[in-house]
């Protein structure tokens, strides 16, 4: 089912309403929650990405700091925890976040060396504006499913498609904390898209 809105506030309300109306009760890892599967959340105006809903206490300061932290390829808590003290709750060792997006975007380690997926993706778009290969992989089964960690990435795959004069961004999300994480994810990926 597609949920479409022109701004994040409307998209957020529609998505929450859908989960409560159509979501099923699930228990995983000892936690109970409601979920809907196979939904497409579509924000038609990516610049309307900052939530204004006063009930949802959104920290623009943290959102911008986290985006800069991600884009710089960092995973160390001491560089972001000032903006959100709860970040350490997701760390296995109190020093870094295992599933931080930054190193996965900017320093993907493979047998052939360090890969900056953002630069690579941008180059593919420059080489062929209509490519279907402008993708970024975030999840890494070799490190995310072989160890026990508190922090497995929720956003797993990004694809940029230039169509009809617009750069579109699709994000595959393995698990989405709609109430807490979703507004930040939308903010970050829309900023990257811009």
Beta strands of the chain (E only): which ranges? 2-5, 24-28, 31-35, 40-43, 108-110, 113-115, 135-137, 155-163, 166-173
Catalytic residue among 37, 75, 121, 154: 154
Residue 74, token pair as written in the block? 């960092």
Structure-token pair, residue 23: 């979501």
Q: At what angle do helices 182-193 and 8-22 cross, to 10 degrees?
A: 140
Quote the tokens at residue 52.
Answer: 């204004």
- Report how far residue 164's alpha carbon sits from residue 153's, in angstroms, rounded to the nearest whole number: 31
Token pair listed for 172: 């595959």
Q: Is 75 a catalytic residue?
A: no
Q: Catalytic amino acids?
A: 154
């Amino acid at each position: 089912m597609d949920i479409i809105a022109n701004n994040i506030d409307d998209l957020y309300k529609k998505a929450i309403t859908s989960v409560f109306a159509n979501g099923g009760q699930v228990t995983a890892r000892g936690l109970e929650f409601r979920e809907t599967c196979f939904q497409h959340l579509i924000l038609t105006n990516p610049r309307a990405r900052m939530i204004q809903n006063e009930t949802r206490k959104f920290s623009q300061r943290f959102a911008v700091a986290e985006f800069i932290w991600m884009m710089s390829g960092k995973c160390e808590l001491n560089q972001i925890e000032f903006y959100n003290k709860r970040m350490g709750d997701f760390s296995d060792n109190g020093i870094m976040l295992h599933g931080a997006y930054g190193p996965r975007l900017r320093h993907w380690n493979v047998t052939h060396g360090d890969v900056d997926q953002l630069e690579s993706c941008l180059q593919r778009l420059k080489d062929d504006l209509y490519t279907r290969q402008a993708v970024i992989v975030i999840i890494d089964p070799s490190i995310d499913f072989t160890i026990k960690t508190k922090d497995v990435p929720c956003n797993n795959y990004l694809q940029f498609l230039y169509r009809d004069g617009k750069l579109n961004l699709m994000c595959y999300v393995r698990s989405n904390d709609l109430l807490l994480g979703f507004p930040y994810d939308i903010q970050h990926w829309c900023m990257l898209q811009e």
